[in-house]
Structure 1
Amino acid sequence: MSCPALIDFEASCLPEYGQSYPIEVALARIDGSSRTWLIRPSPKWRFWDWSEEAEALHGISREMLAREGLPPEQVLAELAEVAGDCQVYADADLDAYWLEVLAGAVGAPVPFPVRYLGELLVERGYTRPQVVAALAEAKARLPREHVARDDASRLALTVRLLLDGDLP
Protein backbone atom coordinates (compact mmCIF):
# COMPACT_ATOMS: atom_id res chain seq x y z
CA MET A 1 0.00 0.00 0.00
CA SER A 2 1.50 3.35 -0.99
CA CYS A 3 -1.35 5.72 -0.20
CA PRO A 4 -2.14 8.02 1.53
CA ALA A 5 0.65 10.55 1.03
CA LEU A 6 1.86 13.31 3.33
CA ILE A 7 3.02 16.71 2.16
CA ASP A 8 5.21 19.28 3.89
CA PHE A 9 6.47 22.68 2.78
CA GLU A 10 9.22 24.93 4.05
CA ALA A 11 8.75 28.63 3.41
CA SER A 12 10.62 31.90 3.07
CA CYS A 13 9.48 33.11 6.46
CA LEU A 14 7.24 32.26 9.33
CA PRO A 15 3.74 33.66 8.87
CA GLU A 16 4.14 36.14 11.70
CA TYR A 17 7.04 37.74 9.80
CA GLY A 18 5.14 38.55 6.62
CA GLN A 19 3.99 37.21 3.29
CA SER A 20 5.79 33.92 2.78
CA TYR A 21 6.30 31.77 -0.29
CA PRO A 22 7.18 28.09 -0.62
CA ILE A 23 10.85 27.24 -1.03
CA GLU A 24 10.84 23.46 -0.50
CA VAL A 25 8.18 20.77 -0.73
CA ALA A 26 8.26 17.05 -0.03
CA LEU A 27 5.73 14.32 -0.59
CA ALA A 28 6.08 11.04 1.29
CA ARG A 29 3.99 7.94 0.79
CA ILE A 30 3.34 5.49 3.59
CA ASP A 31 5.36 2.83 1.74
CA GLY A 32 8.47 4.85 2.64
CA SER A 33 9.05 6.45 -0.77
CA SER A 34 9.46 10.21 -0.85
CA ARG A 35 10.47 13.01 -3.13
CA THR A 36 11.56 16.55 -2.38
CA TRP A 37 11.99 19.67 -4.48
CA LEU A 38 13.71 22.99 -3.88
CA ILE A 39 11.63 25.73 -5.48
CA ARG A 40 13.28 28.59 -7.34
CA PRO A 41 11.35 31.72 -6.35
CA SER A 42 8.84 32.97 -8.88
CA PRO A 43 9.33 36.54 -10.12
CA LYS A 44 5.84 37.13 -8.66
CA TRP A 45 7.32 36.64 -5.19
CA ARG A 46 10.15 39.15 -5.70
CA PHE A 47 8.83 41.55 -3.07
CA TRP A 48 7.54 38.91 -0.67
CA ASP A 49 9.22 38.38 2.68
CA TRP A 50 12.26 36.38 3.77
CA SER A 51 13.36 35.91 7.35
CA GLU A 52 16.68 34.86 8.77
CA GLU A 53 14.83 33.00 11.54
CA ALA A 54 13.15 30.71 9.01
CA GLU A 55 16.42 30.25 7.12
CA ALA A 56 18.10 29.21 10.37
CA LEU A 57 15.36 26.61 10.95
CA HIS A 58 15.33 24.98 7.52
CA GLY A 59 18.90 25.73 6.43
CA ILE A 60 17.91 26.84 2.92
CA SER A 61 19.42 30.09 1.69
CA ARG A 62 18.38 32.33 -1.20
CA GLU A 63 21.65 31.44 -2.90
CA MET A 64 20.85 27.72 -2.62
CA LEU A 65 17.44 28.31 -4.20
CA ALA A 66 18.97 30.29 -7.06
CA ARG A 67 21.58 27.57 -7.63
CA GLU A 68 19.57 24.37 -7.01
CA GLY A 69 15.90 25.37 -7.12
CA LEU A 70 13.64 24.13 -9.86
CA PRO A 71 11.14 26.35 -11.68
CA PRO A 72 7.74 26.46 -9.95
CA GLU A 73 6.04 25.02 -13.09
CA GLN A 74 8.28 21.95 -12.98
CA VAL A 75 7.84 21.45 -9.24
CA LEU A 76 4.05 21.68 -9.47
CA ALA A 77 3.87 19.24 -12.41
CA GLU A 78 6.21 16.70 -10.80
CA LEU A 79 4.47 17.03 -7.43
CA ALA A 80 1.10 16.28 -9.05
CA GLU A 81 2.60 13.29 -10.87
CA VAL A 82 4.17 11.84 -7.72
CA ALA A 83 0.95 12.36 -5.74
CA GLY A 84 -0.89 10.40 -8.40
CA ASP A 85 -4.25 9.21 -7.14
CA CYS A 86 -3.29 9.30 -3.45
CA GLN A 87 -5.21 11.38 -1.00
CA VAL A 88 -2.73 13.95 0.31
CA TYR A 89 -2.64 15.00 3.96
CA ALA A 90 -0.74 17.58 6.00
CA ASP A 91 -0.49 18.37 9.68
CA ALA A 92 -1.04 22.11 9.15
CA ASP A 93 -3.32 24.23 6.97
CA LEU A 94 -0.31 26.28 5.90
CA ASP A 95 0.74 23.44 3.62
CA ALA A 96 -2.50 23.81 1.64
CA TYR A 97 -1.89 27.57 1.49
CA TRP A 98 1.65 27.15 0.14
CA LEU A 99 0.39 24.70 -2.50
CA GLU A 100 -2.09 27.40 -3.55
CA VAL A 101 0.70 29.97 -3.67
CA LEU A 102 2.84 27.63 -5.79
CA ALA A 103 -0.03 26.94 -8.20
CA GLY A 104 -0.92 30.63 -8.34
CA ALA A 105 2.63 31.55 -9.31
CA VAL A 106 2.28 29.53 -12.51
CA GLY A 107 -1.39 30.32 -13.15
CA ALA A 108 -2.45 26.71 -12.65
CA PRO A 109 -5.17 25.15 -10.54
CA VAL A 110 -4.20 23.36 -7.35
CA PRO A 111 -3.53 19.79 -8.57
CA PHE A 112 -5.07 18.03 -5.55
CA PRO A 113 -6.71 18.93 -2.27
CA VAL A 114 -4.63 18.83 0.89
CA ARG A 115 -6.60 17.34 3.72
CA TYR A 116 -5.89 17.72 7.42
CA LEU A 117 -4.15 14.64 8.83
CA GLY A 118 -6.32 14.72 11.94
CA GLU A 119 -9.36 13.91 9.77
CA LEU A 120 -7.77 10.65 8.60
CA LEU A 121 -6.83 9.67 12.13
CA VAL A 122 -10.36 10.34 13.40
CA GLU A 123 -11.92 8.48 10.43
CA ARG A 124 -9.78 5.46 11.22
CA GLY A 125 -10.73 5.59 14.89
CA TYR A 126 -7.28 6.02 16.40
CA THR A 127 -7.15 7.13 20.00
CA ARG A 128 -5.02 9.98 21.26
CA PRO A 129 -2.62 7.59 23.08
CA GLN A 130 -2.16 5.58 19.86
CA VAL A 131 -1.39 8.71 17.85
CA VAL A 132 0.99 10.06 20.51
CA ALA A 133 2.84 6.73 20.62
CA ALA A 134 3.11 6.56 16.81
CA LEU A 135 4.35 10.15 16.62
CA ALA A 136 6.95 9.47 19.32
CA GLU A 137 8.20 6.35 17.54
CA ALA A 138 8.35 8.15 14.19
CA LYS A 139 10.22 11.07 15.77
CA ALA A 140 12.70 8.68 17.37
CA ARG A 141 13.41 7.20 13.93
CA LEU A 142 13.40 10.53 12.05
CA PRO A 143 14.33 13.24 14.57
CA ARG A 144 15.46 16.05 12.22
CA GLU A 145 12.79 18.77 11.94
CA HIS A 146 12.15 21.64 9.54
CA VAL A 147 13.46 19.69 6.57
CA ALA A 148 10.52 18.99 4.28
CA ARG A 149 11.52 15.42 3.34
CA ASP A 150 12.06 14.41 6.97
CA ASP A 151 8.89 16.12 8.18
CA ALA A 152 6.72 14.51 5.47
CA SER A 153 8.44 11.14 5.95
CA ARG A 154 7.92 11.29 9.72
CA LEU A 155 4.20 11.92 9.21
CA ALA A 156 3.96 9.11 6.66
CA LEU A 157 5.76 6.78 9.07
CA THR A 158 3.35 7.78 11.83
CA VAL A 159 0.40 6.78 9.64
CA ARG A 160 2.13 3.57 8.59
CA LEU A 161 2.79 2.60 12.22
CA LEU A 162 -0.85 3.20 13.07
CA LEU A 163 -2.12 1.24 10.06
CA ASP A 164 0.20 -1.66 10.77
CA GLY A 165 -0.46 -1.60 14.52
CA ASP A 166 3.33 -1.74 14.80
CA LEU A 167 3.82 0.25 17.99
CA PRO A 168 6.07 -0.65 20.92
Structure 2
Amino acid sequence: MDWPTIIDVEASGFGRGSYPIEVGIARADGSVASRLICPEPSWQHWNEGAEAVHGISRAQLQSEGGAVTDVADWLNSELKGLTVYSDSWGFDSSWLALLFHHADRIQRFRLDTLHRLLSEQQVLRWGQVKQQVVAELGLTRHRAADDAQMLQRTFQLTASL
Protein backbone atom coordinates (compact mmCIF):
# COMPACT_ATOMS: atom_id res chain seq x y z
CA MET A 1 0.00 0.00 0.00
CA ASP A 2 1.19 3.50 -0.76
CA TRP A 3 1.33 5.90 2.15
CA PRO A 4 1.31 9.70 2.16
CA THR A 5 4.60 11.26 1.10
CA ILE A 6 5.97 13.17 4.08
CA ILE A 7 8.46 16.04 4.04
CA ASP A 8 10.40 17.49 6.95
CA VAL A 9 12.62 20.56 7.02
CA GLU A 10 15.29 21.35 9.60
CA ALA A 11 16.33 24.98 9.93
CA SER A 12 18.94 27.36 11.30
CA GLY A 13 16.49 28.44 13.98
CA PHE A 14 12.98 29.77 14.22
CA GLY A 15 11.54 33.11 13.29
CA ARG A 16 12.91 36.02 11.34
CA GLY A 17 16.05 35.30 9.34
CA SER A 18 15.92 31.51 9.74
CA TYR A 19 16.43 29.33 6.69
CA PRO A 20 16.32 25.66 5.67
CA ILE A 21 19.42 23.57 6.32
CA GLU A 22 18.16 20.03 5.64
CA VAL A 23 15.15 18.56 3.88
CA GLY A 24 14.03 14.96 4.14
CA ILE A 25 11.28 12.95 2.54
CA ALA A 26 9.55 9.67 3.26
CA ARG A 27 8.27 8.42 -0.09
CA ALA A 28 4.94 6.66 -0.61
CA ASP A 29 6.78 3.30 -0.72
CA GLY A 30 8.39 3.97 2.69
CA SER A 31 11.90 4.72 1.44
CA VAL A 32 13.56 7.88 2.75
CA ALA A 33 16.12 10.40 1.52
CA SER A 34 17.50 13.75 2.61
CA ARG A 35 19.77 16.56 1.51
CA LEU A 36 21.78 19.08 3.49
CA ILE A 37 21.60 22.64 2.17
CA CYS A 38 24.61 24.94 1.91
CA PRO A 39 23.54 28.36 3.22
CA GLU A 40 23.30 31.22 0.76
CA PRO A 41 25.72 34.11 1.50
CA SER A 42 22.83 36.26 2.77
CA TRP A 43 21.65 33.55 5.16
CA GLN A 44 23.45 34.58 8.33
CA HIS A 45 21.00 33.72 11.12
CA TRP A 46 22.27 30.88 13.28
CA ASN A 47 20.74 29.70 16.52
CA GLU A 48 23.03 27.58 18.68
CA GLY A 49 20.00 26.15 20.49
CA ALA A 50 18.66 24.85 17.19
CA GLU A 51 22.09 23.37 16.39
CA ALA A 52 22.03 21.59 19.75
CA VAL A 53 18.68 20.04 18.78
CA HIS A 54 19.46 18.88 15.22
CA GLY A 55 23.22 18.42 15.64
CA ILE A 56 24.12 19.99 12.30
CA SER A 57 26.83 22.67 12.35
CA ARG A 58 27.11 25.56 9.94
CA ALA A 59 30.59 24.28 8.99
CA GLN A 60 29.09 20.88 8.11
CA LEU A 61 26.52 22.59 5.87
CA GLN A 62 29.22 24.56 4.10
CA SER A 63 31.33 21.47 3.45
CA GLU A 64 28.62 18.84 2.82
CA GLY A 65 25.52 20.83 1.83
CA GLY A 66 24.18 21.02 -1.70
CA ALA A 67 23.56 24.29 -3.50
CA VAL A 68 20.00 25.61 -3.21
CA THR A 69 19.52 25.01 -6.95
CA ASP A 70 20.57 21.37 -6.62
CA VAL A 71 18.32 20.74 -3.62
CA ALA A 72 15.32 22.47 -5.24
CA ASP A 73 15.86 20.49 -8.46
CA TRP A 74 16.13 17.25 -6.47
CA LEU A 75 12.88 18.00 -4.61
CA ASN A 76 11.08 18.81 -7.85
CA SER A 77 12.40 15.62 -9.45
CA GLU A 78 11.29 13.50 -6.48
CA LEU A 79 7.96 15.17 -5.80
CA LYS A 80 6.70 16.69 -9.06
CA GLY A 81 2.91 16.74 -9.19
CA LEU A 82 2.46 15.23 -5.72
CA THR A 83 0.83 16.57 -2.61
CA VAL A 84 3.28 16.08 0.23
CA TYR A 85 2.50 16.45 3.89
CA SER A 86 4.21 18.20 6.79
CA ASP A 87 3.45 18.25 10.50
CA SER A 88 4.80 21.83 10.68
CA TRP A 89 3.19 23.34 7.63
CA GLY A 90 3.64 26.95 8.74
CA PHE A 91 7.40 26.68 9.20
CA ASP A 92 8.11 24.18 6.43
CA SER A 93 6.14 26.11 3.79
CA SER A 94 8.04 29.32 4.52
CA TRP A 95 11.43 27.56 4.49
CA LEU A 96 10.62 25.75 1.23
CA ALA A 97 9.44 29.05 -0.30
CA LEU A 98 12.77 30.61 0.70
CA LEU A 99 14.71 27.69 -0.80
CA PHE A 100 12.85 27.85 -4.10
CA HIS A 101 13.07 31.65 -4.23
CA HIS A 102 16.86 31.62 -3.81
CA ALA A 103 17.15 28.76 -6.30
CA ASP A 104 15.05 30.76 -8.79
CA ARG A 105 12.86 27.68 -9.28
CA ILE A 106 9.12 27.03 -9.18
CA GLN A 107 8.05 24.46 -6.61
CA ARG A 108 6.44 21.65 -8.63
CA PHE A 109 4.68 19.94 -5.74
CA ARG A 110 1.98 20.95 -3.29
CA LEU A 111 2.58 21.11 0.45
CA ASP A 112 -0.29 20.44 2.84
CA THR A 113 -0.65 19.85 6.54
CA LEU A 114 -0.48 16.24 7.72
CA HIS A 115 -3.27 16.96 10.18
CA ARG A 116 -5.71 17.20 7.25
CA LEU A 117 -5.32 13.42 6.76
CA LEU A 118 -5.81 12.41 10.39
CA SER A 119 -9.05 11.03 11.75
CA GLU A 120 -10.14 11.94 15.25
CA GLN A 121 -9.01 8.50 16.43
CA GLN A 122 -5.55 9.02 14.91
CA VAL A 123 -5.21 12.38 16.64
CA LEU A 124 -6.07 10.78 19.98
CA ARG A 125 -3.44 8.03 19.56
CA TRP A 126 -0.77 10.10 17.81
CA GLY A 127 1.51 11.09 20.72
CA GLN A 128 1.75 7.63 22.27
CA VAL A 129 2.26 5.86 18.95
CA LYS A 130 4.89 8.40 17.86
CA GLN A 131 6.96 7.68 20.97
CA GLN A 132 6.70 3.94 20.31
CA VAL A 133 7.86 4.45 16.70
CA VAL A 134 10.89 6.50 17.77
CA ALA A 135 11.90 3.79 20.24
CA GLU A 136 11.14 0.91 17.84
CA LEU A 137 13.07 2.35 14.90
CA GLY A 138 15.91 3.91 16.93
CA LEU A 139 15.59 7.17 15.01
CA THR A 140 17.61 10.33 15.49
CA ARG A 141 15.00 12.98 16.20
CA HIS A 142 15.31 16.32 14.47
CA ARG A 143 17.09 14.98 11.43
CA ALA A 144 14.89 15.48 8.40
CA ALA A 145 14.75 11.96 6.92
CA ASP A 146 14.30 10.30 10.31
CA ASP A 147 11.54 12.72 11.30
CA ALA A 148 9.76 12.19 7.96
CA GLN A 149 10.02 8.42 8.43
CA MET A 150 8.75 8.69 12.02
CA LEU A 151 5.73 10.73 10.90
CA GLN A 152 4.89 8.34 8.08
CA ARG A 153 5.22 5.26 10.30
CA THR A 154 3.10 6.90 13.02
CA PHE A 155 0.47 7.65 10.38
CA GLN A 156 0.53 4.01 9.22
CA LEU A 157 0.17 2.58 12.71
CA THR A 158 -2.56 4.98 13.83
CA ALA A 159 -4.49 4.37 10.60
CA SER A 160 -4.51 0.62 11.22
CA LEU A 161 -5.62 0.71 14.86
TM-score band, normalised by shorter chain: 0.7 to 0.9
Match of 1:128 among 120, 123, 127: 123
Which position in structure 2 is the counterpart of 1:152? Answer: 148
Pairing of 1:36-75 with structure 2 (within 5 A): 36-45=34-43, 48-75=44-71
Cα displacement string for residues 103-161 of structure 1 (whole angstroms, at most 9, x for unaligned residues):
01112222222111110114xx6443343443233222244211111111100111222
Which position in structure 1 is the counterpart of 2:12? Answer: 12
Cα displacement string for residues 49-93 of structure 1 (whole angstroms, at most 9, x for unaligned residues):
111111111111111111111111110111122224432000012
Which position in structure 1 is the counterpart of 2:101? Answer: 104
Question: What is the letter of the counterpart of residue 91 of structure 2?
Answer: L
- 1:139 lines up with 2:134 in the alignment: yes
TM-score (norm: length of structure 2): 0.87
Distance 1:44 1:110, change over 3 A: farther
Shift of 1:4: 1.7
- Residues 88, 115 of structure 1: 8 Å contact kept: yes
Question: What is the letter of the counterpart of residue 135 of structure 1?
Answer: K
Distance 1:3 1:80, change over 3 A: farther
| Superposition RMSD in Å | 1.9
Distance in structure 2 (CA, Å) of the matches to 1:44 and 1:2 = 39
Distance in structure 2 (CA, Å) of the matches to 1:111 and 1:85 = 6
Distance in structure 2 (CA, Å) of the matches to 1:3 and 1:89 = 11
Structure 1 unaligned residues grouped into runs of 5+: none
- Residues 9, 23 of structure 2: 8 Å contact kept: yes
Question: What is the letter of the counterpart of residue 63 of structure 1?
Answer: A
- Residues 3, 87 of structure 1: 8 Å contact kept: no
Distance in structure 1 (CA, Å) of the matches to 2:133 and 2:79 = 22
Which position in structure 2 is the counterpart of 1:21? Answer: 19
- Residues 96, 113 of structure 1: 8 Å contact kept: no
Mean Cα deviation higher: 126-135 or 86-95: 126-135
TM-score (norm: length of structure 1): 0.84
SS in 2 for 1:25: strand
Distance in structure 1 (CA, Å) of the matches to 2:131 and 2:82 = 25
